[in-house]
């Protein structure tokens, strides 16, 4: 099972970000790791 979040950009785009493979990995995910994964999926350098 893949755990995903859907991020809405300022332009109204919806981007799906795969976070991890199971709930245990999700519990171990830090906020910094979450931010980094989202930043990698954003168009351009919006998250950098």
Look at residue 12 and tell me if it is in a domain. Answer: yes
pLDDT tens, position by position, 7-31: 998 889 999 999 999 999 999 999 9
Look at residue 46 and tell me if it is in a domain. Answer: no
Structure tokens at 10: 């300022």
Tell whether the model's pLDDT for residue 47 goes beyond 70: no
Look at residue 28 and tell me if it is in a domain. Answer: yes
On whether the CB atoms of residues 25 and 34 are closer than 8 A, the answer is no
Look at residue 48 and tell me if it is in a domain. Answer: no
pTM, entire model: 0.72
Look at residue 32 and tell me if it is in a domain. Answer: yes
Look at residue 15 and tell me if it is in a domain. Answer: yes
Q: Using pLDDT thresholds of 50, 70 and 90, give the confidence band for residue 43.
A: confident
pLDDT of residue 46: 57
Q: Which domain holds residue 10?
A: 3-41
Look at residue 23 and tell me if it is in a domain. Answer: yes
């Amino acid at each position: 099972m893949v755990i995903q979040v859907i991020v809405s950009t300022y332009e109204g785009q919806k981007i799906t970000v795969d976070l991890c493979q199971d709930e245990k990995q999700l519990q171990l995910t830090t906020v910094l790791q979450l931010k980094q994964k989202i930043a990698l999926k954003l168009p351009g350098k919006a998250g950098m």
